[in-house]
Amino acid sequence: MPAEAKTAAETAAKDAPPAARAVPPASPPLTERQEARRRRILHASAQLASRGGFDAVQMREVAESSQVALGTLYRYFPSKVHLLVATMQDQLAHMHGTLRKKPPAGETAAERVAETLMRAFRALQREPHLADAMVRALTFADRSVSPEVDQVSRQTTAIILDAMGLDDPTPAQLSAVRVIEHTWHSALITWLSGRASIAQVKIDIETVCRLIDLTEVRETR
Amino acid sequence: MPAEAKTAAETAAKDAPPAARAVPPASPPLTERQEARRRRILHASAQLASRGGFDAVQMREVAESSQVALGTLYRYFPSKVHLLVATMQDQLAHMHGTLRKKPPAGETAAERVAETLMRAFRALQREPHLADAMVRALTFADRSVSPEVDQVSRQTTAIILDAMGLDDPTPAQLSAVRVIEHTWHSALITWLSGRASIAQVKIDIETVCRLIDLTEVRETR
DNA sequence: ATCAAGTCTGAAACTTGTTCTAGGTTAGCG
DNA sequence: CGCTAACCTAGAACAAGTTTCAGACTTGAT
């Protein structure tokens, strides 16, 4: 039963009716000044996050840094978590672009995915506080942020599928990708909270990537 | 400012040199009345969590429900996250006991682990709000809660190893278990935030459990 | 140019986690 | 019994996320 495909479709359908908010192709087109405000806010958010992480992103400070009234900030991003998830979307898009330029060189799909994720991991290590803010927001997000979190998830999936070099993955492969994403997020958290070393994260990523090999062998499953 | 980390460290240092706090075998033995207070607090916490989840566990309400002053509550559990993680330890211990009674019946280790996790998952489904509170606290926890979160992780590992029926696992098997835990936590989150169905979680668990088969074949790795 | 609708601003208010304080209570001990 | 240190309580106070509101500013259409 192609449950994977169904879920993705359902989820996608879920946020279409009530309208997307933080996704680029949104409902109301923003004026130039509004676009500029949005950008200033995201910049300030990333800036503050790069210092003290999640706690350092204080809504009053973001508002001040980006020259916007507090009420306006909340009009653009209805909560701190929304703001940080949008910040993550921003960074992810940037990273996807960067990764595209130099595709991973591994022989097998598993190797390429592991290499890609490790490259992303090294990027996050350069800004650990920013990583903290974004990842904590992502996992702390409640239902009200689901559409945005889902968008991040789709973006991540796209990056992994890119690394695998697949156009139309099998259900089994999509399941493997889902599990890889789970591991990726959770491993990041254990690293960020100091409960796992960088080496340990590397091992976990490499371990889970072996699942990909499994799907290649038993595709008819 | 990392106010949280500082606070917890100071608080811990103040009443006991190094030492764990919320773990049963703690440094200062509690008097009977203290033990009773602690239990009342945990009970109130679980109670409130079973209603509205993470947000419904309000420290003032917990204090009132458990007939304890707010300051005392904070002496027992230095933050809301500490409290909820301790609540989780409590529930986990209970569940481990329950699971022990009826061991899983699967043929392979992978099947038994998947079965065990699905059993735990069904238990969580019966109290989705409680699950929400505990899991969100767990992933939102910062460094100041690491010891307690680590304890939860060890407990979870023990449950999985139990299901596998292993006494001394190989490194590869431990890696697989780590990845399974990652997937378990992350899949729970996607379910709790409404981004994945119960069926989807089942698939993810079954998918990741196949990693165990891999370690059996290539043990010399 | 002018009006209506929609935005933005500054400031105050409200909520809930967390800290602090002053005084009362308890437990162990001489 | 009476002391002392540790513990507990009630309640105020503080911090940061979120909401609200009156008034000023923009924008788009007439």
Q: Report the pLDDT value the prediction gives residue B32, as an integer from 0 to 100.
A: 84
Q: Report the pLDDT value the prediction gives residue A219, as an integer from 0 to 100.
A: 44
Question: Of A87, A58, A96, which is closest to residue A149 (Cα–Cα)?
Answer: A87
Give A-chain residues touching B145 at CB under 8 angstroms. Answer: 193
Give A-chain residues touching B150 at CB under 8 angstroms. Answer: 195
Query: Would an 8 Å CB–CB cutoff place A4 in contact with chain B?
Result: yes
Topology at the third CATH level for domain A3-13+80-217 = Tetracycline Repressor; domain 2 (1.10.357)
Query: Would an 8 Å CB–CB cutoff place A15 in contact with chain B?
Result: no
Write out chain A's pLDDT in tens, 221 residues.
333 333 333 333 333 333 333 344 456 677 888 899 999 999 999 999 999 999 999 999 999 999 999 999 999 999 999 999 999 999 999 999 999 999 999 999 999 999 999 999 999 999 999 999 999 999 999 999 999 999 999 999 999 999 999 889 999 999 999 999 999 999 999 999 999 999 999 999 999 999 998 876 544 44
Predicted confidence (pLDDT) per residue in B50-86, tens digit: 999 999 999 999 999 999 999 999 999 999 999 999 9
Confidence of residue B195 (pLDDT cuts 50, 70, 90): very high
CA of B194: which chain A residue's CA is closest? Answer: A143
Q: Report the pLDDT value the prediction gives residue B213, as an integer from 0 to 100.
A: 85
Nearest nucleotide to B74 (CA to C1') is C18
Query: How far apart are the C-alpha atoms of A86 and A69, rounded to whole Å?
Result: 19
For residues B205 and B183, is the Cβ–Cβ distance under 8 A? yes
Q: Report the pLDDT value the prediction gives residue A27, as an integer from 0 to 100.
A: 63
Angle at alpha carbon of residue B205, lines to B187 and B161, rounded to 5° = 110
Average pLDDT on B74-99 reads 96
Identify which has the larger pLDDT, B128 or A4. B128
Query: What residue ranges do the domains of chain B occupy?
Result: 81-217
pLDDT at position B214 over 90: no
Average pLDDT on B138-148 reads 96
**Second-level CATH architecture of B81-217:** Orthogonal Bundle (1.10)
Containing H/E element for B175? Answer: helix B171-192
CA(A40)–C1'(D26) in Å? 19
Can you count the helices (H) and strands (E) in chain A? 10, 0
